[in-house]
A and B are shown apart, each in its own frame.
Chain A
Amino acid sequence: MNPVLIRLTQRYISRRRLQSLLFVLGITLGVAVGVAIDLANSSASRAFGLSVSSVTGRATHQIVGTSSGLPTDLYRRIRTELGLQTSAPVIDSAAQAVDLDGRSLRILGIDPFAEAPFRDYLSPRNVSAETLAGLYAFIVEPNTALISTALAERYDLQPGATIALRTRTLPEVTVQIAGLLAPDDALSRQALDNLLLVDIATAQEITGTPGFLSRIDLILPEEFDLSRIEAILPPGAALTTPADQRDALDQMTGAFRLNLQALSLLALLVGEFLIYNTVTFSVVQRRPVIGILRSLGTTRRQVFFLILSETIILGVVGTLLGLLAGILLGQGTVRLVSQTINDLYFRVNVENVAIPGISLVKGAAIGIGASLLAALIPSYEATHTPPAGTMQRSGFERQTLRLIPYVTLAALLFVAGGLALLQISSITLSFAALFLVLIGCALLTPLAMLTTMHLLMPLTNGIFGVLGRMAPRAVVRSISRTGVAVAALTLAVSVIVGVSVMIGSFRQTVTDWLDTTLGADIYISPFNDDSGDIAVDIDPAIASDLQAIPGVEWVSTVRSVTVTAPDYPDLPPVNLVAPDTDVTHSGRRFKWNAAPGGDYWGALLAGDVIVSEPFAYRRNISRENNTIVLLTDRGEQSFIVAGVYYDYTTDQGNVLMHASIYRRYFDDPFVSAIALDVAPGVDPQAILQTLETDALIGTGLQAQSNRALRDNVLTIFDRTFSITVALRLLATIVAFIGILSALMSLQLEHTRQYGIMRANGMTPRQLRTFTLIQTGLMGTTAGLLALPVGLVLALILIDVINVRSFGWTMDLTLAPQPFIQAFAVALAAALAAGLYPAWRSSRHSAIQALRSE
């Protein structure tokens, strides 16, 4: 490039420092949000993968059983009859470390002698005699455990110290630390952090599962004949591969992560408008210069690259800063994301943020790509107007006004295209459609501005007089600049509206659902706190004991377990819920109910099942396709689905089966939770008191009132959306910067005009008012337009995205609050962004301002 042109660029950037800064900031924020979310997602995913591989090790296959487990004798047969030396028994359970902040630990029960091919923690191969002797002690001493050095350091635990645990069956059991697992690297350190490695005998003793294994890990040679194993599998056991299981589990969070990614793109979309705005300004402002350059013989190419290179330089700086900020921001988002995954899906501990190069490459591509894309139109535009034309300001604005019909037409095409795309049932395409609709709506901004200014002129005239007439016209006259700023603000505010309405509707739906579902007065479940919840097997005798408490009218129990559905190997295992009483008192709401006379409880008693809506959605269950196959202790059994009910406990869905049917097919006497109905006239608080001070002592169970349980559910619900709320805020900040940048530029451009106004007798105060009316009008336009756009966004989120991501139907709840709030945000942002320009313009003396010409 010509050195003169380079100098020109340099001069321009250094003269417009603030604008350049805002440009960089826009890119930085957009990239940072995207990268932060990407990092959080990939860190969570990686932590999950690690925690899986830390316990599956190098297994190629696994034999898994039903909730009651696999008989140990199967392992003996595999070792002795099949002679499979690369096999290892595993008990995989969870416990809560009572004294370690209630932290939940993963109990991994293993046979050290079988471990070497699978996991490297304990390998009797090539170890010293001292280690072997230590290994013997680990095997023969009951309740000895190995923990990671990280966990030991965190709680200052030395070998020989004890840890009190609450396990699936024992309210309290103590294990002694026999040694520490010293990880080879940071990666293993993370994976091992919550591991409690015990001998398999200890594992059986403390989890109360004598005679059974959770699974058998295998390393099978390529040519191994799988039927040899399948031939000796007892009913309920299945041969699977860890990769399948990991994929299925990882897939659980797939939709959740995609939603976050899409939301982070929304911030970038807003940023995109901002960049476009800034570049347009730099072009528009230099139209005379460009005109002169062109007149002096500078080629179109040179001018085009002049503008493009400016953008690229700022874009690169913004992108790099964005990557840096994203990495920092990622440390915060990863906590939010992993909290949500813990609440909704499975336990995963994300201790540190992994930074995959691909995340950074993606972030950089998005940032630089967005800058280029935004700069392309203005650059082209600047170079394709005849030199004389570029020197004329008014000509450009007239041209912009003439373009409005076309822009509006394009807007309608975008919206129509988006709506058409929504018809295709794909989550990714649905998001693409959502973006098309949003961009379309943003393109409606110029038209909306013209209309609003026209409508509001009488009003502002009435209030502010001459200034009130001038301001709307000023806005319209600079529509090429104000339009984009307002579009950015509109987008940001409509995201606020859309996401708020969606969350509000969802929350209301869940609240209503809780009202019908939580029919009992008191719920008894294992101690749960934020840091950990472990599935617990409650002795059914406890339930019968509770029946004897005076004032307790009815005791109902529910068993929930995960079972394998062989027909869907690529989906996670099925959550099976088996209540013995309908606590909803036939109040369950159904999407469809094929039970005779709608008597679903009767159908359940007869052996049918009902499934929740997400379950049906994921497996395409309908009135026609109404059977599911489950792997039971009696082998594979087929069940008829009598209906699909609304349920919001998990986005993986549930299968509901009557407890009596469950016990017929599964050798599992335990229950998972107990509910109590209190006799009429008895105060539930009194019963709660009795339970806490007497009946539940030493059981490791806690009682909660209906109200407390409901509040807990809603607390978790709200926590789940904290990341969404944070993203919404980020979009607003981006929009705020956008409108500030636009107004700053406007003000700069209008310096001369303001000089003339001042020279003609306008007071600084009036000039301030004039600026603020303009920005207020812009904010009003954005706020007004954002309301319908936000509603459309909410509808798409509720009716399309949520259904396709999670399979949940929710009722649209319209409250005025999110709309009022959003409008207020738009107006406040616009007015706040106008303050500085207003102050600056009023400070200039008329002479100074005119001199700037």
Chain B
Amino acid sequence: MAILSKEQAKKIIDKVLAFSKADEISASLSGSRTGNIRYARNSVSTSGETNDLSLSVTAVFGKKSGTATINEFDDASLEKTVRRAEEIAKLAPDNPEYVSMLGAQQYVDTHAFADTTAGIDPEYRAKAAFGSIEPCSKKNLTAAGYMEDTSGFTALGNNKGLFGYNKSTSVGFSVTVRTADGTGSGFVQRDYNDSSKLNSQTATEIAMQKALASVNAKALEPGKYTVILEPTAAHDLIINMIRSMDGRSADEGRSFLGKKGGQTRLGEKLLDERVTIYSDPANTEIPGSPFAFDGRPQEKVAWFEKGVVKNMYYSRFWAEKKGVKAIPPPGGIIFQGGNESLADLIKGTEKGILVTRFWYIRAVDPQTLLYTGLTRDGTFYIENGQIKYPVKNFRFNESPVIMLNNVEAIGKAVRTAGSLIPPLKIRDFTFTSLSDAV
């Protein structure tokens, strides 16, 4: 049984804490069951399921800390693990940036667990794969896909009074559908906490349509174009910006949020005023973990409000040094959307390019957040509010900061890779070369 209840988890953690003679001791107990199925060439290639339950104990003497892990839970094993963590701590060098463990915290309830997902079995996975493969086979299309489901829990506790427990489930599904001659390709991905929201066949149909519609793509000259980024494409660029909002890097002057003279852009308007991005672990569409890895509570945090940089995230050491709140990095993010659908955005576009997804995004310049990457699996030319024809894939060189200053329209946000992201209409998006890849 990999999913322990709050009471079962607390009992084990309390035992561990009682065994320790260290200045500080913390225990983290987590368990999960993860299953997956993978298919390619319209046939299942691998599938499996793993169960895991493990305890990690960290003991601290002064500024020295040591960690030991075990997956056996009898009293003797627990005590042995505590002793091992203590021994490793005693041998460790001082960590000058060590900050004492947190005391008791208040956590929000996030409702991230769904019994339906926890009940997924090999038959469900095979059915999901079949539901994706079968319609493709019938239309002489080739599917390659992957589904992974996880149900698990995490419990944290320490001898300063902290205790937290969270259980969650997730299911992720993605499929790439290609035409038999390899001249068309489409992609779709879906992720939920509750697997009853996933229909692999309905999702696959979108990828099938894109595969068929992307055959015989025309080459357009690279250059600056108005683009409509589907949420998957928008997400992959924007999440890179959010992950770069570390306060210490900004204070040290080696981040896009750093400025000359050791100043930062906190409080400055950096993006279009229609851009508001925040995180909220209690959001019902993307429920996240109520606490960060070190026990800090995850709360609702505004990262950009009307284009203004509102917060950065910090390590506890750096926040203490700077006298600011030690906000942890977020899980998923919420990009405040409008009411227009993707179809509405297309309808309102005179000339532009619709981008299904980006691929192989890599940082080029951390100071300007310039990224390069390519479009993939469905890139189309829009004229007078209609998709006219498929176009060859482009390489882009663009910064999400520049892109979010060139906002034309923001659609309705939808769940994408654990975040809520709207489709975006952006002017002057920079494509620098063409790719022959399908």
Answer whether A and B are interacting partners.
no
